[in-house]
């Protein structure tokens, strides 16, 4: 049975007659192909990437598994519509905490139309993208059964300053995420989620080592999705901390050149997370 994902924190969302992603009970995430060529471009990337022998096996784990395309009833009620069939990263998790970080100080790609570049430049300048090399596009953090999720609205997230971004990354691994500015995030899950040999920081560093040498693709307006399950930690089990790269409508050929735009933003994200692991109580 198809349904609207409640864990989606950024991008085009279904509901109120709008076209957006759907999920099912078998662990699939269905993303409707975007118009203006973006959908066909993302489909071409997934098709190429899934069979490209130049991609190391240990790097493929950072990308959603691609299952082809499906024609499904669109969420906006317009009838059958082509969707990318992808792995749903959070399907097996209970109350997952999710953060979407759009990577790169520049989110527009060189071949884009002028009006699109102007639109992206405006958003890059108004958010932390230019200054920080990435911006938080959305997040939701599970508190407990009583408080539920802390999920700032889209407008609030787009207005994040650099300090707000640092705070959001701290709240993401705290037992007390709150809108109350007087409550200091305790970062009690920082060592478990961000740190350790299998934590988010280690995964980001592994991804960084590939981007320091890969010249196959340049990823514009792509996001790092960070996910973990707080209840697993409280029950003494693994946090399930995991990262995935998502959104590939603007990937272009690298043509033998390192993707410094993405690499720079990734390094900035790593630095902020590393600071939290090193000084969780700061």
pLDDT tens series, the chain, 282 aa: 888 877 777 766 766 778 889 999 889 999 999 887 889 999 999 999 999 999 999 999 999 999 999 999 888 888 899 999 999 988 878 899 999 999 999 999 988 899 999 999 999 999 999 999 999 999 999 888 888 888 888 899 999 999 999 999 999 999 887 766 667 899 999 999 999 999 999 999 999 999 999 999 999 999 999 999 998 888 888 889 999 999 999 999 999 999 999 999 999 999 999 999 998 887
Segments making up each domain of the chain, as ranges: 22-87, 96-278
Angle at which helix 260-278 crosses helix 200-211, to 10 degrees, equals 150
Hey, which residues does 100 pair with through a beta bridge? Answer: 138, 225
Q: CA-to-CA distance for 125 and 114, rounded, in angstroms?
A: 16
pLDDT recorded at residue 176: 80
Give how far Cα 213 sits from Cα of 206, 217, 218, 234, 254, Å: 12, 11, 12, 39, 11
Cβ–Cβ < 8 Å for 193, 239: yes
Cβ–Cβ < 8 Å for 89, 65: no
Q: CA-to-CA distance for 160 and 149, rounded, in angstroms?
A: 19
pLDDT recorded at residue 171: 94
Q: Is 234 helix (H, G, I), strand (E, B) or coil?
A: helix
User: What's the pTM value of the predicted model, to 2 decimals?
Assistant: 0.93
3.30.1490.190, 3.20.20.70, 3.30.470.160, 3.60.20.10: which CATH number matches 96-278? 3.30.470.160
Angle at which helix 260-278 crosses helix 162-171, to 10 degrees, equals 60
Q: Is 108 helix (H, G, I), strand (E, B) or coil?
A: coil
Our CA dihedral for 192, 205, 217, 104, rounded to 10 degrees, sits at 80
Structure tokens, 250:
């603007």
Q: CA-to-CA distance for 61 and 71, rounded, in angstroms?
A: 26
Q: CA-to-CA distance for 257 and 251, rounded, in angstroms?
A: 14
pLDDT recorded at residue 236: 81
Cβ–Cβ < 8 Å for 12, 20: yes
């Amino acid at each position: 049975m198809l349904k609207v994902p409640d864990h989606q924190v950024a991008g085009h969302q279904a509901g109120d007659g709008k076209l957006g992603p759907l999920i099912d009970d078998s662990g699939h995430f269905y993303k409707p192909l975007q118009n203006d060529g973006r959908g066909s471009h993302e489909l071409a990337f997934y098709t190429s990437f899934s069979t490209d022998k130049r991609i190391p096996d240990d790097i493929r784990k950072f990308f959603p598994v691609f299952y082809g395309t499906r024609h499904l009833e669109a969420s906006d009620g317009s009838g059958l519509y082509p969707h990318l069939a992808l792995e749903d990263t959070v399907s097996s998790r209970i109350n997952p905490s999710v953060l979407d970080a759009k990577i790169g100080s520049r989110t527009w790609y060189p071949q884009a139309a002028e009006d699109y570049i102007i639109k992206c430049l405006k958003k890059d300048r108004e958010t932390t993208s230019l200054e920080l090399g990435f911006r938080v596009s959305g997040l939701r953090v599970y508190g407990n059964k009583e408080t539920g999720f802390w999920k700032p609205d889209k407008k609030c997230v787009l207005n994040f300053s650099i300090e707000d971004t640092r705070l959001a990354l701290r709240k993401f691994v705290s037992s007390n995420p709150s809108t109350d500015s007087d409550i200091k995030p305790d970062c009690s899950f920082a060592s478990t989620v961000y740190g350790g040999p299998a934590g988010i920081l280690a995964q980001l560093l592994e991804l960084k080592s590939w981007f320091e040498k890969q010249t196959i693709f340049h990823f514009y307006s792509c996001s790092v999705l960070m996910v973990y399950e707080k209840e697993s930690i409280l029950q003494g089990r693994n946090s399930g901390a995991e990262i995935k790269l998502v959104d590939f409508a603007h990937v272009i050929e690298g043509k033998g050149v390192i993707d410094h735009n993405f690499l720079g933003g990734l390094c900035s994200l790593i630095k902020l997370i590393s600071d939290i692991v090193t000084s969780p109580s700061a």
